Structure 1
Amino acid sequence: MDVLISNHIDHSALRSHPWTKMQTDDESVYMDFKQHPNLIRTALEDLIPYKKWDFVEQFYTLIEWINSQDCLLESNDCTFNAIEDNSDKQYAYAKKCSARLMILFRDIPENCQEKSITWLLEKLQSLIAASKPKFKAGAIGLSLSPTCYLALGDTPDTGGMGHQLTLNFFAYGKNERRCYENMKEILIVAEQSLKRINKSIQLGELDKLYTLSN
């Protein structure tokens, strides 16, 4: 599957974790789905109008797993943009839809270690690129988002400055049904890849980065 990497980091769009509410939408507030998994299927308002489509169930499943006790990652934000005319010339389809998921290490200090966050991005890139190589109706974009981790301090000199990883999902098709079918395929690849990363963390692959450097 195509994976797109953005090397541009927009430092003007500094986020915090946890965040309070969106500047553009006072009704959107941060919810800790680790503590309140029962809210996932009711609080993600972008998805509710599309519940009849299978990709929504797949999205719920991904978010439920990543915030479960079985995972060493967690999510911070999630959005979905419904079908629209496609202007992306590299994908020759009439329609597209998109979504976003922001993730981070559950061990908060890890997100402030450049070596760790780079490992997460590069590992995920490799796994996605190796998945479904014949699939040409979508892509996953990866980028780093500057983040202030409030549990560690709220200024640059307190150790709380780091990143989180943003996954942007792009699905294409000749009509609405095909778009949403392809979005489901993309979300399946994302979940499978993140589960493999979780297993790698459990097996100590991330810790070895620091063992080898000592």
Structure 2
Amino acid sequence: MDAFTAKQTEHTEGRSHPWTSMTTDQTSIYMDFKKNPKLIRSSLEDFQPFNHWPFADTFYSLVEWLNSPSSLLESNDCTFNAAEKNPDEQYPYAIKCSARLMILFRDIEENCQQRSIDWLMKNILQNVSSTKLGFRAGAICLSQSATCYLALGDKEDTGGMGQQVVLTFFAYGKNQRRCYENMQQVISHAHQCLKTVNKKLKNGELDDIYR
């Protein structure tokens, strides 16, 4: 599967973690799914209209795993953009859809270490691009989003400035059904790749870069 990086897919100047509410929608508030996993399937409003498509369930499963005790990562904000006419000439399909998921280390201080963020980006990128090689109807873009981690302070000299990793999923198809079927494959592949990276974290491979 195609995997690539971008400088930044977010069009904001940065955000805080945890955030309170969106400036464009005051009803959209931060939820800690580690503490409230049962809210995942009822509170991701962008995905609710698509619950009859299997990709939505696959996405919920990914978010549930990320926020479970098995994971050393956690999720943050996410969005979904429904199928539309495909403007991307490098993918010869009529229809495109996309989704976004922001992830971070469960150990908050790691998110303020650029080497740790770079390690996470590199390992996700390698896992995505080196597997599912025959699949050409989807891609994953990785970028970083500047974040102020409030648990570590909200001033530049308090050590709370860091990053989140943004995963942007793209899927394509000759029609809406094929597009959403391929999105399910993209999300499922991301889930397996993140599990591989999580295993590396548990084995202490991130610690090796500091030795």
TM-score band, normalised by the shorter chain? over 0.9
Amino acid at match of 1:69: P
| 8 Å CA contact retained: 1:125, 1:142 | yes
* Matching residue of 1:185: 185
* Matching residue of 1:149: 149
Amino acid at match of 1:32: D
**1:74 corresponds to 2:74:** yes
* Structure 1 residues 11 and 40: alpha-carbon distance in aligned structure 2, compared to 1, 3 A threshold: closer
Q: Is the deviation greater in 84-93 or in 9-18?
A: 9-18
The one-character-per-residue Cα deviations of 1:152-178 (angstroms, maximum 9, x if unpaired) are 000111100000000000000011100
* Matching residue of 1:97: 97
* Matching residue of 2:125: 125
**TM-score by structure 1 length?**
0.96
Matches within 5 A, 1:47-66: 47-66=47-66
The one-character-per-residue Cα deviations of 1:25-68 (angstroms, maximum 9, x if unpaired) are 11111000000000000000111111111111100100000000
Please give the alpha-carbon distance, in whole angstroms, between the structure 1 residues aligned to 2:189 and 2:4. Answer: 14
* Structure 1 residues 97 and 9: alpha-carbon distance in aligned structure 2, compared to 1, 3 A threshold: closer
The one-character-per-residue Cα deviations of 1:57-86 (angstroms, maximum 9, x if unpaired) are 100100000000110000011111111111
Please give the alpha-carbon distance, in whole angstroms, between the structure 2 residues aligned to 1:42 and 1:113. Answer: 34
* Structure 1 residues 187 and 24: alpha-carbon distance in aligned structure 2, compared to 1, 3 A threshold: same
- For residue 8 of structure 1, report the CA deviation from its aligned partner: 4.6
* Matching residue of 1:137: 137
Please give the alpha-carbon distance, in whole angstroms, between the structure 2 residues aligned to 1:15 and 1:197. Answer: 25
| 8 Å CA contact retained: 2:72, 2:201 | yes
Q: Name structure 1 gaps, 5 residues minimum.
A: none
Amino acid at match of 1:34: K
Specify the SS of the correspondent of 1:69: coil
**1:36 corresponds to 2:36:** yes
| 8 Å CA contact retained: 1:10, 1:146 | no
Please give the alpha-carbon distance, in whole angstroms, between the structure 1 residues aligned to 2:44 and 2:77. Answer: 10
* Structure 1 residues 186 and 12: alpha-carbon distance in aligned structure 2, compared to 1, 3 A threshold: closer
- For residue 12 of structure 1, report the CA deviation from its aligned partner: 5.3
Which of structure 1's runs of 4+ aligned residues deviate more than 2 A? Answer: 7-12
| 8 Å CA contact retained: 1:3, 1:141 | yes
Specify the SS of the correspondent of 1:65: helix
| 8 Å CA contact retained: 2:8, 2:145 | no
Q: Name structure 2 gaps, 5 residues minimum.
A: none
| 8 Å CA contact retained: 1:11, 1:146 | no
Please give the alpha-carbon distance, in whole angstroms, between the structure 2 residues aligned to 1:11 and 1:49. Answer: 25
**TM-score by structure 2 length?**
0.97
Please give the alpha-carbon distance, in whole angstroms, between the structure 1 residues aligned to 2:115 and 2:9. Answer: 16
* Structure 1 residues 56 and 11: alpha-carbon distance in aligned structure 2, compared to 1, 3 A threshold: closer
| 8 Å CA contact retained: 1:79, 1:101 | yes
Please give the alpha-carbon distance, in whole angstroms, between the structure 2 residues aligned to 1:28 and 1:163. Answer: 22
Instruction: Give the CA RMSD over aligned residues.
Output: 1.2
- For residue 7 of structure 1, report the CA deviation from its aligned partner: 2.8
* Matching residue of 2:173: 173
* Matching residue of 1:206: 206
| 8 Å CA contact retained: 1:9, 1:146 | no
| 8 Å CA contact retained: 1:14, 1:145 | yes
